[in-house]
Every structure is written in C-alpha cells, then in structure tokens.
Structure 1
Amino acid sequence: MPEDQQETVHKFFHDPHLPPGDKPLCIARLLDLVSTPLTKQDIAFLSNLRPFFEHAAETSTDLLNPPDDFHHWLAVPLTTPRKEGVAKVGNNTINARATALSRLYTALRQRGLVRYNPVHDLPRRKPEQSDAKLPSTGELQVLLEELGRKKEPHALALFLLIYRLGFTAQAVFDFRWDDVDFKANTVRRGEIVSRLPADVCGVLLRLRTPDPLLVDPTVRLRRGGEAPNRQGHVFPGLHEVDEVREFLWQATRLGRGTSGGAVVPSRLRLAGLRDAELEGDLTEQARQFGYRDVVAFHKARESARTRLTRLDSEEGR
C-alpha cells in the first residue's frame, strides 16, 4: 500500500472527530474490504466491526497497537448487545464479530500496518445449534439443474463437493488441484482418499481446462483478483473460509430459479448424508464422505435421516 494511503488509514483510526461508527466503513473502503454499492454481506461485516471501534473510543485504545491484554479487552465489544431489549449476544454473533475483526487485521497486516493479527488465536465459541430444517431432495435437484442451466461451474463444483462428497467449508477453502487425481479418479482430503463421482469429476475437469470466457465469480475484483498465496487452489478467489458460506448463499438464494431459497454448507452437507447412496462396507462409505471415524459417520448419517425438511418432498405429500 502506498505511504499516502497508509497515512490515511492511520488518520481514520485516530481521528477524534470521526464518529466511531463511521470508521469501519472508511477504513474498509481503503483496504478494499467492501464493494460499492455495499452488499448485504458488507453491511453485516461493518456492523460486526462497529462494537470494537466504539469500545476503543470509550477506553482510548489504539486498535493499530492493541494492548497486551487484548483478548481480555475484547470481552466487552464481543458480548455487548447493540439492540435495545436484547439481553445477551449469542455465540454465533460473537464468532461473527471475532471473524470480522480478524479479517480486518489480516488486511492491515498484508499492507504492513500491523505486525501481526492479534485475533488469529482468539478461541471461538461453540456454534449454536439451529433447528432449521434441511432442504428437501427435490429442492436440491432444482438447485442442481438451475446451476447447470446457468453454466456456473464454480458454483456447481462447490455445491457438489459439499453435497456429494461431504466437504466442509474449510475443506472447500483448502482444496487444491494437487488433491485431485483425474487418472485414478480420486480426491484427497488429508489422509482420506475418496472416489470422484462422475458429475463432480466432470465439473472439476471443466474448471481445470483453461477457458478465457470463464470468469471465476469467487474472485473479488475489488480486492485485486486472486488472494495472495492461493495459486493452485481450486477456488483461488476465496480469501477466507467464511466466503465459502457467502458464495454458496449467493448461488442458491431466492431469485436464482429455486423454490426454497439459499442453503448453507453445514445443512447442505447433512442433506448429502441423508441422500447419499454409498457403496462398499461402512468404512469405505465413511471415507467416501470424508469421515475417518466410522462410528461418527454412522451417527451423523442416522441423525441426518431423521431431520425434517424445510419443504415437503414429493414422496411425503
């Protein structure tokens, strides 16, 4: 980052006349962390940052030079409700705030404005379990057909990796071309090797084949294209794990030709467990869906099969 832009970022952090609630937007624009106009995800990101800037103003804390007890200091902005009538901040909101602040410090570190990310090792809370219903098998088929018709191989590949092979959001983010063996028709996740279903293999081959007309929608042009050190990844435009969820939401939200609306990675993976027709013994089935522990796989599959769907399936009507 040029020195004049670094000075401007410093000014926004330290300007006493700039309201704390306005600082996240000014700084995020300089760091190319938000787009113009702001998306729904940008607004949520900025909202999650505001408690830290407000608490910094109240305590005269310099966020560019966080104190030694920064994790202790963070307890207040992480857990303080921002809406009247809300007595407690849930774990998911606390985690979202921590992730937003970590994303900000990552950008600051990449531009030489801080030496390290002080939130990198901040423990996260246990996510709150949602009783939300799973998408029905019929709805997911509509989504697959719609993604195929729109010729969006990146969205289709991400969808299929989660639904057909049980990829987690972290596994999608970490997925490299070195992990795919097209000759053996296998895919590797750490020590686990799974067979590539024909539809997954087909869409990955399409992504692997150079096509000047194919634009990767995961690449954030406002951030300068591919993220640093992401060459060789199947989804090089994803800058952090949380963007897997965002990209899937964008690809499957209402208005994309679907009847049920957007899905998230965790519930899509459970729906995949519910719908999977796996071959071989239980150990082989578990590895096919990314599990090392056969017992954990069996429990997860049985749990997924008992979950209600958010739309009535054709068979259940």
Structure 2
Amino acid sequence: MHPADERAQKLVLALHRYDLDQVIALLPDLHTRSPSSRKITHSNLKPVFEQAKKDHLDLLHPPADFQAWLYAPLRRTIHGEHTASPRTVHTRASLLARLYRLLEREGLFHGEPLRHLPRPSAKRKAQALQERADITRLHLQTQDDAPLHAALLLIDHAAFTPGELLALTWEDVNFPRGQVLRRRTASTVHPAALQALDRLARQAGGPLHAQGHVFEYPDDQALRRALWKACQDANVPYLPPALLRQAGLRDHAQQLTPADAGFSSEAAYQLAVDVAQRLVPQDD
C-alpha cells in the first residue's frame, strides 16, 4: 500500500472514531508544531469532536444543518452552554475551517462546510496598561512602606505573582548571587528589587538572620488592599497586581530571561510578553 493511501486510511479511521489526538498527529499543519500550539488546538477542537461523537455525526459527511449544529459546541466551555468568549468562538471556527481545508488537500473532503458561518469578531477592546509614569509615581509613593515597595519592584522587574510573593521566604533569597528561588525557577533579581529586599531584610534582623516569610501580608486581599491605598495616595488609577505584572513584562522584556520572569518554558514566556505588548495603548 502506498504510504499516502495508508495515511489517508488512518485519517478516515481517526475521524470516524472521533480520535482528535490522532487527527492532530496526522495533520501537523493544523498547528505550529510546538507543544503549546498542539495543546491549544486540541482544546479548541475538543468540544466539536465530543459533541459529534455524542450525536453520531459523521465529520467527513457533515449534514445540511451542520452550521446550526455547530452553534452549541463552539460556544460551550467547562462553565456551561454559551459561555465561550467571542474570541474563543472565532478561534474554534477558524481551526475547524482549517481542518476541512487540510482534509480537502488530502483528497478526503470536498466543499466548505463553514463558508458564511457567522463568526463574532476576535478583536478585543483596547485595554490600557498602567503608564510607566504612573508606575514610577507609585514606586516613589511607597518608598516609606518597605514591604509594599519591595513587592512592587518584584512584580515590575521579575513578573512576580501575588502567590509567589506570599510564598517567598528569606531562605529563598540568595543576596550574594542576587537570586531568589520561586515556584518554577531561580530568578536573577534586578538591582533595584534586590536593594529593596536588602532593606526589608535589615528590618527583620539582617540578611544573615532574617527568617520566615519575606512579606507578612496574611493573604492576597491584604496585599491588594495595601496597593489600592498606595494608588490613592499617589493619585494614580488602581490596577491589580496582574496588570502591573503585564506592564512590567511590556517594559522590561528585553532585560529578562524566561527564568528571571518565573517561566520554565520559553514558549509560555514569549506568549505572555506578546500579550502584554499588544496591550500597549495605541495612538488614534
């Protein structure tokens, strides 16, 4: 049997069995071949394949009302019916259309079953991240609050999350090497953040004697409350730690490695940076 014929038979069998993993493996052009892209592709097509299996719908011979049938699986998430965002619906429909184009290229399908399918816009509303001038003003405002000042510098220069801040202990800080141990990586810390940590350590008995947690906020909400008050005092809009973290990735990505930002995966880090850079306010 010719290899192309054998591959085609495997594709037909995988589609009849609703074996999405096998379909993705046999159609590498369906994704960008990185592990993260493959996982995203699987996640987006999974609701369609699951619903097709449940309804005994032949994906190689979709019925005349295929587009109406798609309405439910394209909009379903783990949170229930009609809970998928417009962007998710658009992504799923685009991937499914690509799947059928690839099947047509393989000679297994003819037609455009998603042609003229109404799709919501994938564009997001522009979301302005904190301006650098506002962040600088916030840093200046918190200089008399050593814990909050150090926390903000770690968010800004090392992309720390609130969970990582609250979990950080003095045993995780290596001052001679300028590193901190966090959830996924050991990160080299920006000099300004290391200086703020040193100042905080001196208040706790000195870098050689400080013990326990670096930040004594009892929980995430206490940290956010302190940040909210500091924003008010600095007369800047309040943004939660997650958006301040994105602003740091936006502004400092060139000086960071994935490990320095707490990412064990280069792909995940680049995706986070790309998202942050797309949120830079654009001039009209």
Scaled by the length of structure 2, the TM-score of the pair is: 0.50
Q: Which has the larger radius of gyration?
A: 2
TM-score by length of 1: 0.45
